[in-house]
Amino acid sequence: MRQEPAAKIRETEQNYRIITSILSVMFGIVGLIVWVVPLIGALIDSVGLILGAIGIGSQSRRIAIIGITICIIGLVLAITNASLIVRAYLGIAAQPSIGDILIHLYKSSFFGRDF
């Protein structure tokens, strides 16, 4: 019993999409573990997101959706962590409060000076 070439190609493509769905979940889990290193976590989650998008047209659609969801969560965590690291590096988190600014303005104006 020989299969037609088109049937073999469809079967191979379907197997490829199932594998990409499973890889998407695996990359998502690894991305959730390494999100504390933003560049690596974002890269791994981006690859997993692409693999999930490829695998969404397969029989394992649910697995692909789970992988995409996990990758999006990991990507959000990695981006949030990166923004916090940048804010801490630039000292944005240590900005003066509005009260400190108002006190400074009051002291620097002529109202705060003794004549």
The structure's pTM equals 0.71
Count how many domains the chain has: 1
- Domain containing 53 equals 5-112
User: Tokens 């974002």 sit at which residue?
Assistant: 42
Model pLDDT, residue 2 = 65
Distances (CA, A) of 5 to 8, 11, 14: 5, 10, 14
Query: Hey, what amino acid is at 44?
Result: I
Model pLDDT, residue 49 = 95
pLDDT along the chain (115 residues), means of 10: 73 87 95 90 95 89 94 93 81 68 73 54
Distance CA 75, CA 28 (A): 9
Write down how long the chain is: 115
- Measured at the alpha carbon of residue 42, what is the angle toward residues 16 and 20, in degrees to the nearest 5? 5
The secondary structure element, H or E, covering residue 56 is none
Distance CA 84, CA 90 (A): 10
* H-state helical runs in the chain: 5-33, 38-55, 61-90, 98-108
